[in-house]
Amino acid sequence: MTDDLPELRASDADRDRVAERLRDALAEGRLDMDEFEERLDTAYKARTYGELEPLTRDLPAVSGSSAPAAAAPGNGNGSALWAARIGGQGTSSGGVAIMSGFTRKGQWTAPRRFNCFAFWGGGTIDLREANFEAPEVVINCVAIMGGMDVIVPPGVEVVVRGIGVMGGFDDRESGVPGEPGAPRVIVTGFAFWGGVGIQRKLTRAQKLERKKNKRLDK
């Protein structure tokens, strides 16, 4: 599966499965500590299946299975977890920043359409811990001599449709396949002498947990 889809984005669960197989290989004596640490670091930095697959290619499958360590999307309970985050009434319909700033982050519910405007200011729309009113939400950004950042969690599909005039919309995350059951976020709008950025990030708690696990593995 990973050989057929080398450019498909890997999820946190995929990286964790590879990390677990590397821990087993260390315990079995198949890897020494230096090899283990090098591969583990590479695993947590990997963005695609193509980058994960070589890390376990020379290791035998677990429990006699021929399945690769980096499983395809849809395995596990990811769909159920996403389903629990979709539904309910939006808790904020928009944000305005005029020579100032606004932030929407933490535990909130993103509406079907979130309209935001920034003039000589900036805004942050952080969806990492958010719920979603519908399977598809639209973030409409108008940035005039200002900027906005849209932060999404791994697994969410992002589509960028904004227009920039002497400004721009970051479309590097556009077109990346989402996980089964994950919401779709459409970022649209207009930027003049300004910009709209889209980033994928873990929450602070997830980063701390990852660092903790890496320390325990050493």
Q: State pLDDT tens for residues 55-73.
A: 998 988 654 333 333 333 3
Question: Is 216 inside any structural domain?
Answer: no
- Find the domain containing 195 and state its range: 84-203
Is 129 among the domain residues?
A: yes
Same structural domain, 112 and 33: no
Structure-block tokens of residue 48: 């695609």
Q: Clarify whether residues 88 and 168 are in a common domain.
A: yes
Residue 126's Cβ-count burial label (10 Å; 0-12, 13-18, 19+) is buried
Strand order, beta sheet including 122-126: 101-104, 122-126, 147-152, 195-200, 168-169
Residues 128 and 168 in one domain: yes
Of 27, 54, 76, the residue that ends a domain is 76
Q: What pLDDT score was predicted for residue 70?
A: 37
Q: Specify if 213 maps to a domain.
A: no
Structure confidence at residue 78 (pLDDT): 63
Pair (121, 23) in one structural domain:
no
**Residue 71 and residue 106 share a domain:** no
Check whether residue 136 and residue 94 sit in a common domain.
yes
> Is 109 found in the same domain as 163?
yes
pLDDT digits (tens, 9 = 90+) for 3-35: 445 678 888 888 888 888 888 887 778 888 788
| CA quadruple 204, 206, 211, 215: dihedral sign | positive
- For residue 114, give Cα distances in angstroms to 73, 88, 100, 164, 199: 29, 15, 19, 19, 17
The count of domains in the chain is 2
For residues 139 and 81, what is the distance between their CA atoms, to the nearest angstrom?
A: 22
How does 94-106 read in b/e, with b if 16+ C-beta sit within 10 Å? bbebeeeebebee
| pLDDT, position 30 | 86
- 50 falls within a domain: yes
pTM: predicted TM-score of the whole model, two decimal places? 0.62
